[in-house]
Amino acid sequence: MSSLKRNIAPLPLLFTGLGSIIGSGWLFGAWNTAQIAGPAAILAWVVGMVMMLTIAITYTELGAMFPQSGAMGRYAGYSHGPFVGFLASWANWLSMIAIPPIEAVASVQYMTSWEWAWARGLTEGGNLTPSGLALATAFLVVYFLLNFWTVQLFAKSNTAITVFKIVVPLLVGVALLTLGFHPENFDAASGGFAPFGWAAVFTGVATSGIVLSFNGFQAPINLAGEARNPGRSVPFAVVGAIVLAGILYVLLQVAFIGAVPPERLTEGWKALKFDSPFADLALALGLNWMAILLYVDAVISPSGTGITYTATASRALYGLERGGHLPALVGRVHPLFGVPRNAMWINLALGFACLYLFPNWGALAAVISITCVIGFLMGPISVVTLRRTAPQLHRPLRLRGLRVLAPLAFVFASLLLYWSRWPLTGQIILLVLLGLPIYLYYETRRGRAQAWSALWSGLWLVGYLACMTALSWLGARDFGGTGLVPYGLDMVLVVVVALTFYGLGLRAGSRYVHGDLPSGLEESDVPAESQSPATRPSATR
Would you say residue 516 has pLDDT above 70? no
Number of domains in the chain: 1
- Report pLDDT digits (tens) over 355-373: 888 887 767 777 787 888 8
- On whether residue 177 sits in a domain, the answer given is yes
Between 33 and 233, name the one with better pLDDT: 33
Region 85-93: what's the mean pLDDT? 83
Cα 97 to Cα 78: distance, rounded to the nearest angstrom: 23
Note whether residue 243 is domain-resident. Answer: yes
Q: Which residues on adjacent β-strands are paired with residue 8? A: 227
Q: Look at residue 407 and tell me whether its pLDDT is greater than 90.
A: yes
Give the pLDDT score at 539: 31
Contact predicate 304/19, CB 8 Å? yes
Between 151 and 516, whose confidence is greater? 151
What is residue 532's predicted lDDT score, i.e. its pLDDT? Answer: 42
Arithmetic mean of pLDDT, 100-110: 86
The stretch 98-116 carries a mean pLDDT of: 83
Instruction: Answer for the pair 340, 314: CB distance below 8 angstroms, yes or no.
Output: yes
Using pLDDT thresholds of 50, 70 and 90, give the confidence band for residue 68.
Answer: low
Q: For residue range 311-348, what is the model confidence (pLDDT) as tens digits?
A: 778 877 877 777 666 766 776 665 555 567 788 888 89
Average pLDDT over residues 91-119: 83
Task: Give the pLDDT mean for 351-356.
Answer: 88
Q: What is the pLDDT of residue 327?
A: 66
Please give the Cα distance from 125 to 383 (Å, whole number): 46
User: Would the pLDDT of 381 be above 90?
Assistant: yes
How much is the pTM?
0.81
Residue 518 φ/ψ, nearest 5 degrees: -60, 155
Mean pLDDT of 50-76: 81
Angle at the Cα of 320 from the Cα atoms of 317 and 324, rounded to 5 degrees:
140
Is residue 487 a part of any domain in this protein? Answer: no
User: What does pLDDT average to over the chain?
Assistant: 79
How many helices and strands (H and E) does the chain possess? 24, 4
Residue 217 lies in a domain: yes
How many other C-beta atoms lie within 10 A of the C-beta of residue 221? 34
Q: What is the pLDDT of residues 197-225, one digit of tens each?
A: 888 898 888 877 788 888 878 778 766 66
In the prediction, which pLDDT does 535 show? 38
Q: Is pLDDT above 60 for 157?
A: no
Instruction: Give the model's pLDDT for residue 528.
Output: 44
pLDDT of 527 > 50? The answer is no
Residues 6+ apart with CB under 8 A from 385: 79, 80, 505, 506, 509, 510
pLDDT at 6: 58
CATH number, domain with residue 143: 1.20.1740.10
The per-residue pLDDT for 307 is 80
Instruction: Please report whether residue 307 resides in a domain.
Output: yes
Residue 97 CB-density burial (10 A; 0-12 exposed, 13-18 middle, 19+ buried): buried
pLDDT value of residue 334 = 56
420-to-291, 423, 472, 492 alpha-carbon distances in Å: 33, 9, 9, 16
CB 156 within 8 A of CB 306: no
Q: Is residue 43 part of a domain?
A: yes
* pLDDT score, position 537: 35
pLDDT of residue 55: 92
Say if 397 falls within a structural domain. Answer: no
Q: Would 266 be classed as within a structural domain?
A: yes
Q: Which residues contact 256 (CB under 8 A, 6 or more apart)?
A: 30, 31, 34, 176, 277, 278, 281
Task: Give the relative orientation of helices 288-322 and 10-21 as an angle to the nearest 10 degrees.
Answer: 110
pLDDT above 70: percentage of residues in the chain: 81
pLDDT digits (tens, 9 = 90+) for 4-18: 555 677 787 887 778
Map residue 124 onto helix, strand or coil. strand
pLDDT band at 261 (very low <50, low <70, confident <90, very high): confident
Q: Write out the residue range of the structural domain in which residue 32 sits.
A: 11-372
Region 68-82: mean pLDDT is 74
Asked if 126 and 28 touch (Cβ cutoff 8 Å), the reply is: no
Whether residue 394 contacts residue 529, with contact meaning beta carbons closer than 8 Å, is answered with yes
